[in-house]
């Protein structure tokens, strides 16, 4: 257990529906990352927050994706009008700023039917 | 753009030594990290190199050559529990991390 939690752990939805995932990072960590991982691939960067500010977004992140981190604590990732290609594992990682260690949560596995 | 290359699969027997290579092409470079991921699990941090040379942490060591844009992870005294995927990752410009495609290590009895 890394101290990073994600909810839900699994989500099955129908194409066109909206889904929202939550990540609770390690409390004293000010940086939070979201990644997407498909089978047999490495994690793909989506976006990251420094406290409550979203500082960088991947160009691969379509406008159907939005993320927030109100008050610099937990974060949510919303996908609107889901598509089958959104099926993946969504990982969040907590980073405290010392060294290069990112602490990953267990992930949310999304299946879009 | 940023790209990292790793072998897709490596197989070795228990007790052996295995080396997983990673080459990278990035705009800017701060350091090379390695992560382990078991099937169904989340990536866990193994090691980090910012400077050239070898870093040792128990059975695992990691090496970096910045001039060659190359690094490797060395696993010694392999155990069955080391069967997993291993990813190299680079922090290039900015604060985001780019991960390689991963190397699946199978340890045979």
Residues with Cβ < 8 Å from B12, sequence gap 6 or more?
B18, B78, B105, B106, B107, B108
Q: pLDDT at residue B92 above 80?
A: no
Residues of B in Cβ contact (< 8 Å) with A101 = 45, 48
Q: Is B98 on the interface with A (CB under 8 A)?
A: yes
- Chain A nearest C-alpha distance from B29 (Å): 13
- The answer to whether A31 contacts B95, with C-beta atoms less than 8 Å apart, is yes
- Chain B nearest C-alpha distance from A37 (Å): 10
Q: Is B42 on the interface with A (CB under 8 A)?
A: yes
pLDDT of residue B97: 87
- The answer to whether B97 contacts A101, with C-beta atoms less than 8 Å apart, is no
pLDDT tier for residue A36 given thresholds of 50, 70 and 90: very high
Q: pLDDT at residue B95 above 80?
A: no
Residue A21 tokens read as 């995932």
Q: pLDDT at residue B36 above 80?
A: yes
CA–CA gap between residue B47 and residue B45 (Å, rounded): 6
pLDDT of residue B73: 98
> Mean pLDDT across the stretch A82-97?
93
A63-67, A74-78, A100-104, B42-46: least confidently modelled range: A100-104
pLDDT digits (tens, 9 = 90+) for B59-86: 999 999 999 999 999 999 999 999 999 9
Handedness of CA B1, B71, A94, B10 (dihedral sign): positive
pLDDT tier for residue A59 given thresholds of 50, 70 and 90: confident
Residues of A in Cβ contact (< 8 Å) with B41 = 106
Nearest residue, CB atoms, A48 vs list B45, B95, B98: B95
Q: pLDDT at residue A98 above 80?
A: no
């Amino acid at each position: 257990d890394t101290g990073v939690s994600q909810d839900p752990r699994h989500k099955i939805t129908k194409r066109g529906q909206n889904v929202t995932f939550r990540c609770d990072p390690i409390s004293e960590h000010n940086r939070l990352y979201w990644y997407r991982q498909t089978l047999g691939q490495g994690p793909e960067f989506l976006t990251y927050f420094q406290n409550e500010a979203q500082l960088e977004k991947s160009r691969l992140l379509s406008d159907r994706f939005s993320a927030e981190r109100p008050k610099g604590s937990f974060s949510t990732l919303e996908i609107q009008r889901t598509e089958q290609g959104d099926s993946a594992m969504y990982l969040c990682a907590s980073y405290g700023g010392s060294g290069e260690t990112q602490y990953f949560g267990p992930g949310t596995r999304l299946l879009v039917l | 753009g940023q790209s990292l290359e790793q072998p897709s699969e490596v197989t070795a027997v228990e007790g052996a030594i295995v080396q997983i290579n990673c080459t990278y092409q990035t705009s800017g470079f701060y350091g090379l990290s390695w992560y382990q991921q078991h099937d169904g699990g989340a990536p866990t941090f193994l090691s980090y190199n910012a400077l050239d040379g070898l870093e040792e942490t128990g059975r695992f060591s990691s090496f970096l050559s910045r001039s060659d844009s190359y690094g490797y992870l060395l696993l010694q005294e392999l155990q069955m529990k080391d069967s997993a995927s291993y990813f190299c990752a680079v922090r290039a410009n900015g604060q985001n991390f780019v991960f390689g495609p991963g190397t699946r290590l199978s340890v045979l009895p």
